[in-house]
Structure 1
């Protein structure tokens, strides 16, 4: 096992109760993934928001060329699908193994109540095998998988959909798709990783503070993070 790691980096959003601050690249170009050969066409999207009311939202994933992801005023993930995107995972014997989809993305929201939720969406996603120009579908992936859905293609790939974890109330981390190579010269990838919360509301600061009153009555910790693709080349020579 060996090789490198490629990532889109992260976009982060925070809010002090009055002003939203966003850092990182919300529409990273494919070039950020360097010389990797898994994805050569398509769109990387990671979009984050942190609102004044103590809520936050994040969406991240991969879409076909022409696709886009934004977040609506209520924190909902708005997706416009593009053309099909292909992630060439590598070879297993004589077969080229490919992940195909119109869109694969994760989303999350968090509030100060505290609460947090997350989902994963896979549109027309499937794993295919191509030998001598003939493509066969090995596995169709569910469009809206339940949290922590595990699937496999024996001897080839182990797949986890809608991976969810939470370290405390009001906080959640979600990854739409994780693929681990079991054999062949295949890549291990993570697609669409997001994190939201924990959040806390900061009460508004009066323009002219009352005598003896603190200027700041609270601290806000609204945060949302989006990330995209982690790629490691597997050198295992099995199967």
Structure 2
């Protein structure tokens, strides 16, 4: 038996005030030690988000792998049109940014507030040792206010933020970058960007949710299968009995 593994990924979740939700869904991978099973759409179209007006163009990626050596990997996020995201050798995310992707977060007076980036994604890997690691990457990401067609950058987002980095645009937005949480050793969930809007119809946007582990070490296999144990014991008893019979015959021969 080989080690088991698991992972999951979700590219984008949009929550609206009043309970509306638009989601790219979740892709999941499991391996029972011999066979990898993947469910869900790893490259969903924007149409799965329904009639929301937050994002109108771009690429959603939510890729997962689960190997029979006890390792697993996931990467998830949003890229501009023409971009690509997948899992390369060793479980690392391979990302090719495309055009800019724009998520419209709402309005503030005459200003339209947008999240603009080339790519925003998270990735994680886990092993059965057990261990788990994860990171988030934001390529040319920023919060932009546009008034009468003139854009102004309100906040530039770091490309490789430290775990659980908190930022804000006072009175407008609260953000957590590279959010990391774990339910135990060998398991890790990474969120590239979690944004909460202050006011308006948009409640939150979650981009790039990747989860890896916990993966399990396969139990050892006995040298002698349990089904063969009675046979082995029987042969041992027979050998012992034969030895006793020979000794007895020798003793009798010595008396005569």
Equivalent residues of 1:156, 1:184 under 8 A apart: no
| Map of 2:134 onto structure 1 | 118
**TM norm structure 2:** 0.79
| Map of 1:78 onto structure 2 | 94
| Map of 2:226 onto structure 1 | 212
Q: Report Cα offsets for 1:42-86 as digits up to 9, x if no partner.
A: 000000000111000000000011111111221111111111100
Deviates more, 1:116-125 or 1:72-81: 72-81
Equivalent residues of 2:129, 2:217 under 8 A apart: no
| Map of 2:107 onto structure 1 | 91
Match of 2:146 among 130, 136, 139: 130
| Map of 1:229 onto structure 2 | none
| Map of 1:48 onto structure 2 | 64
CA–CA distance in 2 between the matches of 1:53 and 1:35? 42
Measure how far apart 1:211 and its partner are. Answer: 3.9
Measure how far apart 1:201 and its partner are. Answer: 2.9
1:108 and 2:119 equivalent? no
Measure how far apart 1:180 and its partner are. Answer: 0.5
1:141 and 2:177 equivalent? no
CA–CA distance in 1 between the matches of 2:53 and 2:214? 36
More helix by share: 2
**TM norm structure 1:** 0.84
Query: 3-state DSSP class of the match of 2:171?
Result: coil
Higher-Rg structure is 2
Q: Report Cα offsets for 1:126-158 as digits up to 9, x if no partner.
A: 000011111100000000000000000000000
CA–CA distance in 1 between the matches of 2:76 and 2:106? 24
Change (3 A) 1:73 1:210: farther
Match of 1:179 among 195, 218, 231: 195
Match of 1:199 among 215, 238, 241: 215
Match of 1:35 among 46, 51, 55: 51
The two structures, once aligned, show a CA RMSD in angstroms of 1.9
The one of the two structures with greater contact order (alpha-carbon pairs below 8 A, sep at least 6) is 1
Q: Report Cα offsets for 1:172-203 as digits up to 9, x if no partner.
A: 11100011112345452000101110001336
1:154 and 2:146 equivalent? no
Query: 3-state DSSP class of the match of 1:202?
Result: coil
CA–CA distance in 1 between the matches of 2:19 and 2:63? 29
Structure 1 runs of 4+ off > 2 angstroms? 183-187, 201-206
Query: 3-state DSSP class of the match of 2:89?
Result: coil
Structure 1 runs not aligned, ≥5 long: 215-239
Aligned residue-pair number = 212
Structure 2 runs not aligned, ≥5 long: 1-16, 229-256
CA–CA distance in 2 between the matches of 1:213 and 1:198? 32
Equivalent residues of 1:92, 1:185 under 8 A apart: no
| Map of 1:228 onto structure 2 | none
Query: 3-state DSSP class of the match of 2:177?
Result: strand
